[in-house]
Structure 1
């Protein structure tokens, strides 16, 4: 399972300078390299340069790259930058080449990619050096109130903020049990006394349902000090899904269950689906024709079968499939296909085993009911069954259902004959929603191709 990212912060104000320098790096490199490769090359390929800049920024924003600058782990920052540059550059290059009729040489593209990546590396290393050596970080004396996990997590993350040094004096709580890595200094009354002495610059209070009344009392008492007081809400009570912190007319709001596809992310995902489905449908059109003829010649009935499924936000959609059974169940008693199922047609078992029966769903993607990557849609009757048995089951419908997904890549495809298997599938679906990015989608698509569509549990 992947590391759980709790919340997504707003972009720090200083990130705008890094964005400007990155754009200048692309612009300058493209100007020089284009002039070396082509006569009057810069003016000729200005559109390509602007397209790369746009795609690079899209990739950076969707991956929250500029939200995590100045990481203490330089190699992790560089690797993240390389991923963003790879995704942005080659996406723009492929689109530009298709539109312009492959007017740019591969050597030219590789030179641009490598030289710009090296320049990025130098710029980001320079920023890191300036930040660590030329600016003297301010030292803040910090205390924590309560021993909840959000406080411990914040204390660990302070070490990843080299531009501000935090001197953690200790934690204060009514319970005298120790906390790993943080020394207990006393109870709430001792906290107030130390705060009045001016021992702290900042106090972080971890709120909880159990001690909420005591916390309110402490906060009121701290009004008689000059300390900056921060409240950490008890968010770990919930299994967060794409959690974010907003302000609406200066009123703080925190989402607990949310979708990743808002604003720019929604546009990026839709473009990904439209472009991907058009390319795939063009490539597989001969296969679609052969399968359609085979179905018509081997069994009576229509070529396509449509079934009600839950789409985004739980709205019912019609999902298209090649008919693989002698019956077309779409009511309150839909039985999952099993091994040696007598309902299968002569070629039905092969179609289901190889997932070829799912190919018409690319038309669902094209019209906007589905995505190429997302949680697999289940029959409505199965949704109604499992939503009462699995906590958080319906959260998988915060995004469009997909033709392939993270659960299927990890082996949870086909028949789910036990509740445990369905719970595992849902866990992977929610993990996909938490960590969605364009690169994650590409990874799933590539793994689907590499691992193949054949599954031992698909009947």
Structure 2
């Protein structure tokens, strides 16, 4: 595996870790509590909810290649103690459950033992794997040539187990054999050499350059971290990590990439989409199919490739609201002659979007998120509108903050797209469950009230 392939499978490590932990809990739960709890499946589900709530609270799965083993052990200890309390709390409220101190102690001990063995085995195996094979490395560059930057470079080169490949310094103020280029050359270098992480020494760059570099990293899905000094950054949430004793600041782009949040949001999406499919689409779909077929020739559903998460294409489903035409990549305009009479009603009430709950169930979309644009819009605005590409770091949604804020429908001028992206980025960087619920509620209100831009 070459350096260019790093990250191709790294994203699966955390989900695999979560899956194994859940398997351990389920197997031990069935084995030890089958004779103590009447409904063991409900008990296992209760444990899953408790496990995830604790894991999210203490960031149990926030383990990285530079995380010290003592911190991993501390996380396991905290998770174990709190999970023990959750398991014990089940029995006073369940009349048909038999409380057994020995069984609970055995269960917790075995779960923590197996989780600990697996977690440390995976952690140390990956470190040895990087050292022996040179795989799963992250390419890194440093902006600035300062004593702190040199210390970080030395750390990358001496701690091979961290899995970083240092590609060079970029600086305007210092000359060195290690200096790869000037500050103006870094963007081209990062793209051409598939750099994964940019480390920026704040002593050597201006505020304007720093802001431009952050925008560049956002737009190209690159990680940017900061070597701290006396400057301050107020515009973003920052978290501090330690590589040995070396502090590094990282931008927290969105909570939506946290494993516990992803699991919760995915569970919500599945439940919500199933409710819509069972109680609405099950009877509405046959009715609309008949009306669509009566009014015009063509299929009931309109299928179109759209850019999804990480700009991977997926097939987006809608009820067909237009006459069959060869201009499907052209967005609808007011009084569009392609739109049928029934289609005009469906688009006004957003009923044509309901089949996208199938996309949600399949995992291509979320109930709430940035709306999936046409490919032609991606090509036109991707490099023109700042932070446009950030919207692809999460799943697209059936509805979104931009849509309920009045920025849906036809893009007539560039300002329309800029405003839409501002709301999309705000949603991604400030996600919360309450925000999702507010957007869903406002979407329902808009359906009944009508939207002037829904055509």
Structure label with greater radius of gyration? 1
TM-score by length of 1: 0.49
TM-score by length of 2: 0.50
